[in-house]
Every structure is written in structure tokens, then in C-alpha cells.
Amino acid sequence: MQSANSKFGLMTTAIHAGEAPDPSTGASAPALHMSSTFVTDQVAGFSAHDLEDDGNFLYARWGNPTVQMLEQKITALEGVEDCVCLASGMAAATAIFLTFLSAGDHAVISDVSYAGVAELARDTLPRFGIAVSLVDMSDLAAVAASLRPSTKLVHTESPVNPIGRLTDLAAVSKLAHDTGALVSCDATFASPLGQNSAALGIDLIMHSVTKYIGGHGDAVGGAVAGRKELISKIRGESAIHHGGVMSPFNAWLVARGLSLLPLRMQAHQSGAQAMAEWLEAQPQVTRVIYPGLPSHPQYALAQKQMTNTSGMISFQVGDAATGRRIAQQMIDRLEIVHYAVSLGHHRSLIFWMETQGLMDTSFRLKGAQLDSYRTYGGDGVFRMSVGLEDPADLIRDLAAALA
């Protein structure tokens, strides 16, 4: 796989990395290779242990040219050595946990994270003898106190779903590395354009490519990017053995979306900034959390760490009953914005997430950790993924739904 090519700018990289005109046809656009197997002229072994980094394609669970093209694009954009694409963002999270954790190990995992990841960490990992501490990653003293000699992995998410709290990635990486642990970050909300995760010390950069990287809401997939030695381990375990590979068709769709990611992220950011400022001025809105607003509790960190503040806004309208009423008004009245989960698409999406419900199911926080959640999330948030429609149209749509 090709490593980061710093010779080119981000837009050139997003368009050209991993691609080349087809030598046999001259086709300018990349081909979609659906083949599950590849004719070989070598007598070779058929085991993950025989996998050579630059070997020929053999079987699509090991590697496929179209999936590899997407992996090379993400590798180049993240400025790392390698990337593995998997069937979903959850497959990517599972890959990190099951590749680098074994019975007897300890993992420190963000106490707020994508709900599926939170549930996997809290309910599934302990079944395999892995001890898990769920920690508020914005509290560096809590992170430091949670580390043990057996800590092998620190997993964070920044900005965190659904409340937009940030992790100081450089500080958490340093704490983890000082105890010999790897650090992974779910950077789905930020996208590769939102922060330079590798330069901040993150060993394993995870994305749900279903979101910004694909960007069109038509393909599910996941990715983990990092050093070659770490990514090769994931490929051997999670692609070849656990089997969670990405379909070449999805890779082709996601790569097509990724080509324009730098342009889309600029537009997501400016649309979200306009929406966040407008929301902050509305009397029905009691709190807006957006890393581009000076009112974000970690605005200084956002300014230091984020290179694009992305398109994800969380806002509150008061107590849970009010939230539920406004959510119903949105379902009834929104003309453009879709009331739906997911994020990062060109279509704007919004969804109400009540705090008590999330505590009962996914997060189960108490004490200071619950207080921190409520600082950002109150009794519940509308999580809005600001798409690429005209900001004035989106504002008119929201105004009618909030009235």
C-alpha cells in the first residue's frame, strides 16, 4: 500500500490517491472490480500468515483492487502508512478491540461514544475477560487515574456522539503512550479533514465511512488507518479471519464520494456555522454545542486541534417533554431536513436523543460523569447533521419546525 504523499495538497490527494488510468483500456475513472478470486501464476500458501504486503491479489477477503483504492485514499488523507476498510464502522471498532485486546488486558474507553461502541465495550468485551474502564476523556486526571500496567488500549471519540464533547488528543495520546498502551480515536464526526489525528499521536484512526467519507448516504463501511504493522494485524484478524470485509461496490461508491471530501467539508463547516449561530439566537433553543462557536465549553481546544469544525450540531430546547414535542413537530413539518439517524451526508438529518433514555440503554453514567454529559447534553439533544443544501433553506425549514 502506498504511504502518505505529502507532495500534493488535500484536494489533489483526495482525487488522485490510489487511482491511475487503467493501463489496458486507458479509462480515466477507476474500475469496479467485483471479482472474488484472482488467477495466480505463483504456487503460494493460503493462510493469513502467508499474506505479503505487496503480494498479488489472491482472494477478495484478503484484498481487492477497488477496496485497496479506497484504502490508499484514506491512507493518504490521514497521512499514515496504511488503512484497512471493513464492512461497517462497527466492524472497524470491533476490529480494533479484538485485534489488540486479549483476556487479562485492560482497556480505557470513552464513557460517551457512538452507542454501538459503548454497548460493545461495556457488555461484550468483559465476556472475553477484558477489563474495561469507561472514562470521561475530557477529564485528563480521570484518564490518568484509570491507567494500569495491564492497559493495552485507550479508545476515544472526538468530537463525541451525540453531544460534541472533545478529547485533547495530544494529551490523551501522551498519557496512554507513557504506560505503553495504544490509542485509537473514532474520528467519524471530524472526518480526516477535521483533525490531524496521526500528528496528535493517535495510533489507530477509525472512521464509519458511512458518514462523511462516503458522504451520500448510500453505502455502509468502516476504516482503520495507522502504521503498517498495526493495520497488517487488523487485516489478518478482522478481514481474513473474522471476515468483516467491505464489498468492492461499497468501496467504489465511498471512493467516489471521498474524492470531493475536502470541498464537502468546507461546505459542511460553513453551513453548520451559519446554522449554529442562527440556532443560538432562537428563543426556543436553550443551548447549542458546536466546536465552531465561542460558547463551546472547549472552544480553545477546538481552535487548537480542529482544522475543520465539521457539520455536526447538538442543541437543546429545554426539558425532555419539550424536546419530545418539538421532535414531533419536526417529523410533521420538516420539508427538507430528514428526521433520521446517521450523519455526514449531503442531505441534512436531525434526530432527537433524550438523555435519560440513552443513560438507561447505552451509557449508564452516574455522578461527575453524568454531570459532564448534562453540561453538553442537558435533558436531551437534537443532533443535527448539516448537509449541503442552501443554508437559508435549512434555516427556514428549522424555523417552521421550532415555532
CA distance 97 to 285: 38
Cβ proximity to ligand PLP: between 147 and 207 the closer is 207
Among 208, 247, 308, 348, binds ligand PLP (CB under 6 A): 208
How far is C-alpha 125 from the chain's CA centre? 20
Q: Write b or e for each residue in 263-289: b if 16 or more Cβ atoms lie within 10 A of its Cβ, otherwise e.
A: ebbebbbbbbbbbbebbeebeebebbb
Q: How far is the CB of 135 from ligand PLP (least distance, A)?
A: 17
CA distance 310 to 271: 9
Site string for ligand PLP, 317-356 (x = CB under 6 A): --------------------------x-------------
161 binds ligand PLP (CB under 6 A): yes
90 binds ligand PLP (CB under 6 A): yes
3-state secondary structure of 334: coil
CA distance 324 to 351: 11
What is the enclosing helix (H) or strand (E) of 110? Answer: strand 106-110
Q: How far is the CB of 243 from ligand PLP (least distance, A)?
A: 16
Give 168-180 as a 3 state SS string: CHHHHHHHHHHCC
Q: Which of 395, 213, 118, 171 is nearest to 298 (CA)?
A: 171
Cβ proximity to ligand PLP: between 60 and 343 the closer is 343
Considering only the stretches 12-20, 191-199, 204-212, 240-248, report the one whose residues sit in contact with ligand PLP under the rule CB under 6 A.
204-212
Q: How far is the CB of 107 from ligand PLP (least distance, A)?
A: 16
210 binds ligand PLP (CB under 6 A): yes
310 binds ligand PLP (CB under 6 A): no
- Restricted to residues 4-33, the positions that interact with ligand PLP (CB under 6 A) are none
Please state whether 104 falls in left (phi above 0), alpha (psi between -120 and 50) or beta. Answer: left
Q: How far is the CB of 290 from ligand PLP (least distance, A)?
A: 16
Cβ proximity to ligand PLP: between 143 and 209 the closer is 209
Nearest position to ligand PLP, beta carbon = 89
Q: How far is the CB of 120 from ligand PLP (least distance, A)?
A: 10
273 binds ligand PLP (CB under 6 A): no
CB 395 within 8 A of CB 384: no
Q: How far is the CB of 272 from ligand PLP (least distance, A)?
A: 16
Cβ proximity to ligand PLP: between 111 and 157 the closer is 157
Cell 453540561 found at: 375
How far is C-alpha 257 from the chain's CA centre? 16
Cβ proximity to ligand PLP: between 211 and 242 the closer is 211
CB 167 within 8 A of CB 302: no
Q: How far is the CB of 280 from ligand PLP (least distance, A)?
A: 24
CA distance 19 to 12: 11
Q: How far is the CB of 362 from ligand PLP (least distance, A)?
A: 12
362 binds ligand PLP (CB under 6 A): no
| Widest pairwise Cα distance in the chain | 71
Among 71, 105, 168, 186, binds ligand PLP (CB under 6 A): 186
Identity of the residue numbered 124: T
Cβ proximity to ligand PLP: between 58 and 343 the closer is 343
Sign of the C-alpha dihedral computed for residues 82, 85, 88 and 93 taken in this order: negative
Cell of 37: 478470486
Q: How far is the CB of 220 from ligand PLP (least distance, A)?
A: 5
Q: How far is the CB of 345 from ligand PLP (least distance, A)?
A: 11
Site string for ligand PLP, 115-134 (x = CB under 6 A): -xx-----------------
CB 1 within 8 A of CB 55: no
Cell 461502541 found at: 117
3-state secondary structure of 115: helix
Question: Using CB under 6 A as the criterion, which residues of the chain lie in contact with ligand PLP when the complex forms?
Answer: 88-90, 114, 116-117, 157, 161, 186, 188-189, 208, 210-211, 220, 222, 343
